């Protein structure tokens, strides 16, 4: 926690830039102009109050001028906005009577405090202050204090602070410690499925049995994820690191994302789902891993990592180069990733930087999702058609016709066939579809036309 010194206050006050709503006030270092004579000082403070409604209200509420105020400040990453706002609301309401809520804009213009609905689970939320000030009275000491919190959209960080006079510094520091402790012990993001920015995400409920791929591939991935987190104590006793990187590569539609959903549904850990749109700058990568470390055990999934960890070479530089470098550093750099498993999906693994795709310590396991063979296509067709009645189309013919299909295309073939059956009223007495040969052939031909469109360009 950072405390603004009297010297800093003087420098800020005498600079002529009375803009107390800015966090920059806590780091300004201007040359001291030596204006410390009592009469001159009082005149400057009065002028400052006239220019700044915020400063005037603060001075009046705390019964002291700005040079006698102490500010305890804690800067926080943006993903902590929800938990810190909830923690502050909880602790402050226990310890203080709130007299007023307000906010000041960039030019110290008075505005309503920003109270926002913070989700504490997928279906539960709470209204709390996320931008503004509480003017409040301590229930035990009777002292007036001010609490401020600010998480501005578009910035990577926010802050919260306690403003007091000098005699209440210890009480204010204690309150801030209580807020931080409550947030750490009650972090509602831990163990949940969240986005790169700490928002809850709803992932389709999928089991490992729903993923129809080769058993050895499924076993390797399960061993490095679900089994690892289930046996953490045994790993520790055998001096094995609880850290892994798994790269799942293969054509689109071969089951990579479906397997990721199965892991998200079944693993007992925090799951951070990252898309290419979430990573625009190197700072985004460090932000994701800092969050993952705090919420460990954690799985971090980078979907379509081809667009994030691009190959670095002498012809390419700039933001992508820096993002790749930061990703390499975060996956296997100075900071410990104990309790973090990184999984990535890739349609074009050769586009990835070699140091990323081909080095244990980053991606220890590389798994290739091939096009399904006869056995897997047979299992897929049975699963996707389920109990639907199929006439005059042997499964062996379906398996043969779908050679070269991905799992996604095979599922679409089943869905399209059932939809055509329903549309043409080919159903039984209970309304269940009946797939006739001509219906299956029509669905198959439509799908073949879609698959071959690229060849016509």
3-state secondary structure 139-162: CCCCCEEEEEEECCCCCCEEEEEE
Rounded CA separation 355/329 (Å): 11
| pLDDT for 401 beyond 90 | yes
The secondary structure of 337-404 as a DSSP string is -TTEEEEEEES-GGGB-HHHHS-TTT--EEEEEPPP-HHHHHHHHHHHHTT-EE-S--HHHHHHHTTT
As to burial, measured by CB atoms within 10 angstroms (0-12 exposed, 13-18 middle, 19+ buried), residue 32 is exposed
Residue 243 β-bridge partners: 340
Average pLDDT score over residue span 8-24: 48
Rounded CA separation 294/121 (Å): 18
| pLDDT for 317 beyond 80 | no
Rounded CA separation 457/451 (Å): 12
Rounded CA separation 146/148 (Å): 7
Q: In 191-221, which positions are buried (b, 16+ CB within 10 angstroms) versus exposed (e)?
A: ebbbebebebeeeeebebeebbbbeebbeeb
Q: Establish whether the linkage from the previous residue to 297 is cis, with ω within 30° of 0.
A: yes
Average pLDDT score over residue span 127-146: 95
Question: Among 110-119, 175-184, 217-226, whose mean pLDDT is lowest?
Answer: 110-119
pLDDT in tens, 364-373: 899 999 999 9
CATH number of the domain at 374-456, out of 1.10.8.60, 1.20.1250.20, 3.20.20.450, 3.40.50.720?
Answer: 1.10.8.60
Of 284, 277, 266, the C-alpha closest to 229 is 266
Say what the pLDDT of residue 19 is.
Answer: 45
Between 309 and 31, the more confident residue is: 309
Residue showing tokens 């520091």: 173
| pLDDT for 22 beyond 80 | no
Average pLDDT score over residue span 277-294: 92
Average pLDDT score over residue span 45-67: 79
What's the CATH code, domain 208-369? Answer: 3.40.50.300
Do residues 254 and 369 lie in contact, with contact meaning Cβ atoms separated by under 8 Å? yes
Say what the pLDDT of residue 310 is.
Answer: 60
| pLDDT for 327 beyond 70 | yes
Indicate the DSSP class of residue 200. Answer: B
Say what the pLDDT of residue 43 is.
Answer: 66
Between 326 and 311, the more confident residue is: 326
- The mean pLDDT value of the chain amounts to 86
Say what the pLDDT of residue 14 is.
Answer: 52
Say what the pLDDT of residue 7 is.
Answer: 58
Instruction: Confirm whether 208-369 and 374-456 share one CATH topology.
Output: no
3-state helix, strand, coil in the chain (%, to 5): 45, 25, 30
Of 250, 59, 44, 78, the C-alpha closest to 160 is 78
Between 405 and 27, the more confident residue is: 405
Say what the pLDDT of residue 297 is.
Answer: 96
No. of helices (H) and no. of strands (E), the chain: 17, 16
pLDDT confidence of 217, banded at 50, 70, 90? very high
Of 416, 384, 412, 378, the C-alpha closest to 398 is 378
Structure tokens at 156: 């990577």
Cα distances from 451 to residues 167, 253, 447, in angstroms, run: 75, 12, 6
Where are the chain's structural domains? Answer: 2-185, 208-369, 374-456
* pTM across the whole model: 0.82
Question: For helices 81-95 and 169-185, what crossing angle results, to 10°?
Answer: 130
Rounded CA separation 264/256 (Å): 13
Cα distances from 127 to residues 85, 133, 285, 360, 393, in angstroms, run: 9, 15, 30, 45, 58
| pLDDT for 231 beyond 90 | yes
- Give first-to-last CA distance, the chain, whole Å: 62
pLDDT confidence of 48, banded at 50, 70, 90? low
Say what the pLDDT of residue 320 is.
Answer: 52
The secondary structure of 73-88 as a DSSP string is EEEEEGGGHHHHHHHH
Do residues 417 and 437 lie in contact, with contact meaning Cβ atoms separated by under 8 Å? no
């Amino acid at each position: 926690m950072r405390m603004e010194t009297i010297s800093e206050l003087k420098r800020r006050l005498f600079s002529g830039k009375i803009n107390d709503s800015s966090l920059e006030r806590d780091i300004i270092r201007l040359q001291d102009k030596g204006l410390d004579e009592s009469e001159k000082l009082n005149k400057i403070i009065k002028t400052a109050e006239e220019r700044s409604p915020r400063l005037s209200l603060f001075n009046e509420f705390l019964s002291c001028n700005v040079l006698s105020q102490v500010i305890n400040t804690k800067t926080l990453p943006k993903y902590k906005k929800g938990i810190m706002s909830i923690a502050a609301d909880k602790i402050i309401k226990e310890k203080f009577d709130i007299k007023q809520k307000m906010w000041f804009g960039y030019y110290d213009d008075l505005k309503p405090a920003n109270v926002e609905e913070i989700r504490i689970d997928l279906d539960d939320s709470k209204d709390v202050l996320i931008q503004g000030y509480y003017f409040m009275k301590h229930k035990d000491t009777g002292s007036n204090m001010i609490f401020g919190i600010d998480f501005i959209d578009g910035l990577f960080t926010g802050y919260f602070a306690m403003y007091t006079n000098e005699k209440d510094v210890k009480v204010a520091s204690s309150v801030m410690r209580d807020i931080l402790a409550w947030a750490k012990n009650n972090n509602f993001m831990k163990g949940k499925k969240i986005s790169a920015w700490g928002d809850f995400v709803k992932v389709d409920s999928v089991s490992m049995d729903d993923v129809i791929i080769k058993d050895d591939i499924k076993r390797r991935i399960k061993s490095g994820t679900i089994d690892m987190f289930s046996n953490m104590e045994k790993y520790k006793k055998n001096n094995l690191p609880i850290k892994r990187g798994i790269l799942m590569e293969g054509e689109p539609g071969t089951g990579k994302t479906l397997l990721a959903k199965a892991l998200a549904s079944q693993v007992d850990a925090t799951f951070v789902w990252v898309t290419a749109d979430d990573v625009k700058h190197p700072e985004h990568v460090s932000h994701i891993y800092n969050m993952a470390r705090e919420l460990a055990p954690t799985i971090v999934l980078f979907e379509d990592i081809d667009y994030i960890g691009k190959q670095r070479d002498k012809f390419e530089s700039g933001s992508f180069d820096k993002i790749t470098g930061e990703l390499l550093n975060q996956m296997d750099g100075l900071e410990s990733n104990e309790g973090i498993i990184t999984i990535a999906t890739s349609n074009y693994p050769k586009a990835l930087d070699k140091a990323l795709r081909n080095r244990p310590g980053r991606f220890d396991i590389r798994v290739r999702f091939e096009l399904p063979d006869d056995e897997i296509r047979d299992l897929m067709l049975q699963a996707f058609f389920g109990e639907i009645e199929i006439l005059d189309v042997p499964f062996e013919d379906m398996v043969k016709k779908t050679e070269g299909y991905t799992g996604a295309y095979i599922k679409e073939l089943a869905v399209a066939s059932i939809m055509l059956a329903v549309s043409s009223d080919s159903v039984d007495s209970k309304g269940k579809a009946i797939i006739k040969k001509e219906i299956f052939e029509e669905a198959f031909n439509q799908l073949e036309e879609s698959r071959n469109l690229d060849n016509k360009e």
